[in-house]
Amino acid sequence: MRKLLSLVRKAPKRTSAALLMIATAVIVPAVLFAWGPERPTYTIEVPADHVTFNSITNNPNYGDERNFVTIKDADNTAKGGWTDDITIQNGKEYYVRMYVHNNAAANLNLVAENVVANFNVPTQTAKRIQIDGYISSSNAKPDKIWDQAVFSSDSDFNMTYVAGSATYTNNVFTAGTALPDTVVSSGATLGYDKLDGKIPGCYKYDGLVIFKVKATTASFDVQKTVRANSATDKTFKESVNVKPGDKVDYQIYFKNTGGTQLKDVVIKDTLPAGAKYVAGSTYLHNSDGTKQVADGITAGGIVIGGYMPEGDAYIKFTAEIPNNDALPACGPNTLINTAKAITSGGAKEDTANVVVTKECEAPTVAYTCDALSIIRLSKTSTRFKLAYSVDNATFKSVTYVIRDADDKIIDTKTSTDTTFDYDQSTVGKYTVQATITVEADGKDATATSTGCKAAFEITGEEPTTPTELPKTGATVLASVIGLGTLITSLGYYINSRRAL
């Protein structure tokens, strides 16, 4: 099909159109029809003039007979509910049904010979499994027909035939007669009043093959635990506390909890940053016993074999935790280790934690109130401007205590800014003491100093701005001398002209 579509793209326009028609003829039947082969169809009113199976399109009891393989949940005991596809649930059983009808007209007395029904029930594990049903007869045209039904799931599963469940039901075998289990392999011979391979024409001789299959999904579990390597308590836990540089034992537990075999299971472990794998420390315990296995679990992973349903394994190895200086942060550090199981049914992860405390020198905490400057803004307003220093502490606020000339506290102001404008209308002399508040080591602390004390005065007059002094530089002085010389010379000239 891929080659045909490629040919359509490369061909000239007229040729391409013709090829496209051919491609359509090829593609459409494959998409629309799950049955086969393509064959002439008939109706109840105009049945076939020869032996042929399941080619009537308007069977009043069934519908279009070409869709003759259907399925449904075995818990559904109602008459209907048959479908071409179904989404499975783990562990449930399902019915597979085949409708069998010789379409030859009754008045022709044409009997189908060597009628055999058989099915293929795939053994592979997949997300989609198709069961095909076949009816064959030595004197039918065509001599073999087929149809299919599909089981599906979001996860991998397999489908198994329920041994001894196959029956054939018709107007004679009304309660169903047993068919051999070969119905899902080489086939089972059918019939009308006995299983002799002979079925007359007409829908009163039709019948149903029914059997059960069981769906089982692929499922597994992985658990990660840890313990201190040197601890007296050998219990593995989700989390342990150790010291920097200690060794720990990690354990990974794997179990096949589904109903399918899981082959070539891979276990991979990701150590936390700074931790080191101890060479030669990996051991595997399963149904074969306990054995040391090759390194690589913390690199690309190791293959621990295949596991049937309920099969399990333990993997243990040792790692060294980073020393104190290699730990990322002061105080408790939680180092997360991740184990991953990779199977044909998908992948799962689990984690275990190691808590290790990094010892760090206590930081030096310092905070000082350095200086306080005073600026007069108006006859009643004064600006306080603070300078402070902090190290491993956080500035929170500054408190100004104002005293009069008698050293009596007359006002207290607090600000979160280092610049504060203070208003006082009473004339007089004052002092102000600034005290800073900081947060250090999780607590509030204060600091002040003589440098953070200043005096100011309220005079009742606006502060004066100094006027600009006259410029007396060399250039100005030279200009003045030059001008004087010019005036003097001009006076001499005028006097000389008068004398003339």
Cα torsion 195, 200, 201, 202 to 10°: value is -80
pLDDT digits (tens, 9 = 90+) for 102-120: 999 999 999 999 999 999 9
pLDDT of residue 344: 78
At residue 467, the pLDDT reads 54
pLDDT of residue 223: 98
pTM (2 decimals)? 0.53
Average pLDDT per 10 consecutive residues for the chain, totaling 500 residues: 40 40 36 79 97 97 97 94 95 96 97 98 91 98 98 90 98 97 98 98 96 92 96 94 97 92 94 96 97 96 95 98 95 97 90 97 92 95 97 96 97 97 96 97 95 95 67 46 48 45
CATH number for the domain whose boundaries are 366-458: 2.60.40.10
Q: Which residue has the tokens 């007089």?
A: 428
CATH for 221-358 (2.60.40.1530, 3.40.30.10, 3.40.50.1010, 3.20.20.70): 2.60.40.1530
Rounded Cα distance, 360 and 365, in Å: 15
pLDDT for 55 equals 98
Q: Give the pLDDT of residue 463.
A: 85
CA distances from 85 to 72, 122, 360 (A): 8, 16, 65
Q: Sort 143 into a burial class: Cβ within 10 Å, 0-12 / 13-18 / 19+.
A: middle
β-strand pairing of 289-292 with 283-286: antiparallel
Helix (H) or strand (E) holding 219: none
pLDDT at residue 346, rounded to an integer: 84
Do 380 and 418 touch, CB atoms closer than 8 A?
A: no
Joined together, the tokens standing for residue 268 give: 């991979």
Query: pLDDT by residue (tens digit) across 433-485?
Result: 999 999 998 899 999 999 999 999 999 888 876 555 555 444 444 444 454 54
How confident is the model at residue 468, as a pLDDT? 54
CB 167 within 8 A of CB 211: yes
CATH 2.60.40.1530 in the chain is located at 221-358
DSSP H helix total and E strand total for the chain: 3, 31
What are the start and end residues of each CATH 2.60.40.10 domain in the chain? 366-458
Measured distance CA(262)–CA(345) in Å, rounded: 7
pLDDT in tens, 379-403: 999 999 999 999 999 999 999 999 9
Task: Quote the Cα angle for 348-350-352, to 5°.
Answer: 165
Q: Please tell me the distance from the alpha carbon of residue 71 to that of residue 152, in angstroms, as a whole number.
A: 12
Q: What's the CA gap between 196 and 114, in Å, rounded?
A: 7
Q: Which of 377, 372, 399, 402 shows the shortest CA–CA distance to 387?
A: 372
C-alpha 134/C-alpha 144 separation (Å) is: 7
The secondary structure of 249-281 as a DSSP string is EEEEEEEE-SSS-EEEEEEEEEPPTT-EE-TT-
Four-point Cα dihedral 231, 234, 238, 239, nearest 10: -10
SS3 at position 3: helix
